[in-house]
Amino acid sequence: MAAIVEDRQLQVAAEREAAKPVSALPTKLELERGGTGGAVVNRGTEEEGSYCLIKNVRHLSNRGFTKLPERYVLPDPDRPGDVLGRVKLPVVDLARLRDPAHRASELETLDAACRQSGFFQVVNHGVTRELIDGLLDVARRFFELPLARRARYMSPDVRAPVRYGTSFNQAKDAVLFWRDFLKLGCQPLHAVVALWPDEPADLREVAARYAMANHQLFMELMEAALEALGIPCRHSQSLLGELEAGYSQIMLNCYPACPQPELTLGLPPHSDYCLLTLLLQDQVQGLQIMHLGHWLTVHAVPGSIIVNVGDHLEIYSNGLYKSKLHRVRVNSTQARISAASFHSVPVERVIGPAAELVDEGNPRRYKDTDYATFLNFLASAEGKHKTFLQSRKLAG
């Protein structure tokens, strides 16, 4: 029978289904759509329809639930707790970095940020406000599409170049997180754009323009980081040449308003497997970083791009630069949209500590690694609390 399940029935069904495994994906039969307003119309059973909903926190939020389904409730020690304050990230001014008269002092600012907090924000970066606002807007409109049209891009394969999903690592998460995402692979850009969603109609064009500007900014920041680390020009230019065609992806994130935000998180504590992550976010705060044993909310300069050191750069710098734990907190009143881009070496490339940063006084601290090793880890582990990076550290 084709029917839209009433709100109370949906909540009961979703809570019942939340206790069940989430390793499978909705079938085409379950995702057929009818009527208006983006509701899922179930051509199979009511339980199958509720299963679709548990895979999508946006829909749960829109239905006005007042109680968080049990599958999203974190154990007491993992809950977000009280907000103890905000942190202002160091500011790297690209205009000064590009000015020979100020480059040295700006490199010192970048170097200190990477060594200490692992985070900084970039201003005067050259990515236009129109493009930033355009990407966040098209992301918001994608997550407002009916579930059936978003779900065409669902995949259990973490290697898929385009993937719509929920939580952090939904096939492995013991508790689901209050987040939906759309992953867009960006290399080679000319080949992958045709695989991206064709709705909203301007998504491909806007995201492709941003991907190009974003990659250019990443290259400029990596060149500066290598200079700050003291990597000789001939070696840094070789690595930068590889990065021109390196790994790159954009992750569009939606953190809907949550009925009980004190019981869950948008993303658990984690670090990023890449060289650098570049983050755009709307006006709704939520990003938190671990600082001196406390979780602090990031306060960003309007229009800035937040940058953080990833696991690859900590490994390459032999521990000089820090890939710090961070998480996302949600709230009860406003949805939050962000766009994180991850950049690193080509997926087949093995990366380890730079030879220039290893000597008798600074022994090698990390094993070599590659992207395949990480993906295998991600597919087989819960993947929280930075366990992958810890697995690459050498004893001693």
Edge-first strand order for the sheet with 294-299 is 86-88, 294-299, 287-291, 326-328, 267-270
Q: Where are the beta strands (DSSP E) in the chain?
A: 86-88, 91-93, 119-123, 162-166, 180-185, 247-255, 267-270, 276-281, 287-291, 294-299, 305-309, 326-328, 336-344
Is 57 domain-assigned?
no
Residue 28 has pLDDT above 50, yes or no: no
Whether residue 124 lies inside any domain: the answer is: yes
The per-residue pLDDT for range 151-163, each reduced to its tens digit, is 899 887 777 899 9
107 assigned to some structural domain = yes
Residue 20's pLDDT is 42
Other CB atoms within a 10 A radius of the CB of residue 113 amount to 23
- Residue 242: inside a domain, yes or no? yes
**Domain that residue 178 falls in:** 84-348
pLDDT of residue 165: 87
Rounded CA gap, 65 and 50, in Å? 14
Overall domain count for the chain: 1
- 154: phi then psi, degrees, rounded to nearest 5: -70, 140
Both structure tokens of 55: 């895979």
- CA pair distance 54, 58, nearest whole angstrom: 10
Cβ atoms within 10 Å of 65's Cβ, excluding its own? 20
Cβ pair 184, 30 in contact under 8 A:
no
Q: How many CB atoms are closer than 10 A to CB 173?
A: 18
43 occurs within a structural domain:
no
Q: What CA–CA distance (Å, rounded) separates 318 from 196?
A: 36
Q: With cut-offs at 50, 70 and 90, classify the pLDDT of residue 124.
A: very high
Q: Which structure tokens are listed for 297?
A: 């909310």
3-state secondary structure (DSSP) of residue 117: coil
Whole-number Å distance between alpha carbons of 66 and 260: 8
In a domain, 257, yes or no: yes
Contact at 8 Å (CB) between 32 and 26? no
pLDDT tens digits, residue range 303-321?
999 999 999 999 999 999 9
Can you give the pLDDT at residue 266?
A: 95
> In b/e form, how buried is each residue of 148-170, taking b as 16+ CB within 10 angstroms?
bbbbebbeeebeebbbbbbbbbb
Q: Which of 17-26, 107-116, 126-135, 324-333 has the lowest mean pLDDT?
A: 17-26
6 located within any domain: no
Q: What is the CATH number of the domain that holds 204?
A: 2.60.120.330
In a domain, 72, yes or no: no
